[in-house]
A = this chain, B = another copy of it.
């Protein structure tokens, strides 16, 4: 990957994430990154292709970060509860590699390109599916019945997205903590069924 190309993607992400895609013009990205317009159109066919590349870039960064965090979890309930500790760090700007929290980039982009068959919207959907797979793998380690794995994975994904929304729209910095408490309650409920 070319130097300038990456530079463009990083700058574009920073601005898109902060202000939204439609609110940021090509020229702003160029002046901020110090790259010439011709170079941009050498690497990307247009703005949409740049947005697409930015989505893939963020998908990779976010996925890697979360996988790293989940891999560190001790076996047992911690395998899933770590998810909410990671979210808590994200919401409260303790993860420098993700930049200051401004909601989920993919939810934000989905909001701007809300048609389900829009390619950018589909990239956002794909990201969410990858993250859900990551969570499912954690739930699998708990050793509960397959039906319960599905249900619990769904619940964790719902709580995760809910926490992101609360943290962003309502500025609720405790959202991850609340979600963790709910997840713990579900976990205990599951156990009592088994006992």
Residues on A close to B: CB < 8 A? Answer: 18-20, 22-23, 102-103, 106-114, 116, 121, 124-125, 128-129, 151, 154-155, 157-166, 168-171, 175, 178-179, 181-182, 185-186, 188-189, 192
Contact = CB atoms under 8 A, between A and B. Distances in A.
Contact of A158 (B107, B168, B179): B179
Given A111-B20, A157-B162, A125 B186 contact: no
B182 A189 contact: no
A51 to B, nearest CB: 13
A20 B22 contact: yes
Contact of A166 (B151, B161, B185): B161
* Copies of this chain in the oligomer: 2
- Interface SS of chain A: helix
A103 B112 contact: no
B151 A181 contact: yes
A158 B157 contact: no
A112 B185 contact: no
Given A20-B112, A112-B22, A182 B170 contact: no
Which of A103, A113, A121, A189 has the most C-beta atoms of chain B within 10 angstroms of its own C-beta?
Answer: A189
Contacts of A157: 162, 166
A33 to B, nearest CB: 21
